[in-house]
Amino acid sequence: MLGTHGTTKAEKIARSVSKATGVADVGEQVGAVKDEARRRTTAALNALSGRRPAPPLSMLLAATAAGLAIGWVAATALRRAMAARNATVEPVYGVAEVEEPIEPLR
């Protein structure tokens, strides 16, 4: 049903609701509610059928970052320990020392 100036009654109601709630578009709010309902319904059906939800991506990224950090720290500590050990090793007597080649081998 058209009101004055060619607007429908639904448009007037939507405009008054958006002014009252401060939401620019009621359709955005309805769309968000619909998406949330669909997500919850899918999760419920998956739970009833015995499927487990996928782990959150943020948890996987955090575990990967932690593993990389621990590996980097361990590798750095190992390199330092090996360098310190090589610096304190005494030469073995009775073994001929090998001279460095003048040119690199190809």
Provide the β-strand partners of residue 8. Answer: 2
pTM to 2 decimals? 0.38
Domain spans of the chain, in order of start:
1-53, 56-88
18-72: pLDDT as tens digits:
666 655 565 666 777 888 889 999 999 999 999 888 778 999 999 999 999 999 9
Inter-residue contact 23 to 29 (CB < 8 Å): yes
Q: Which helix (H) or strand (E) holds 10?
A: helix 9-21
Rounded CA-CA distance 100/14 in Å is 86
The CA-based diameter of the chain, rounded to the nearest angstrom, is 110
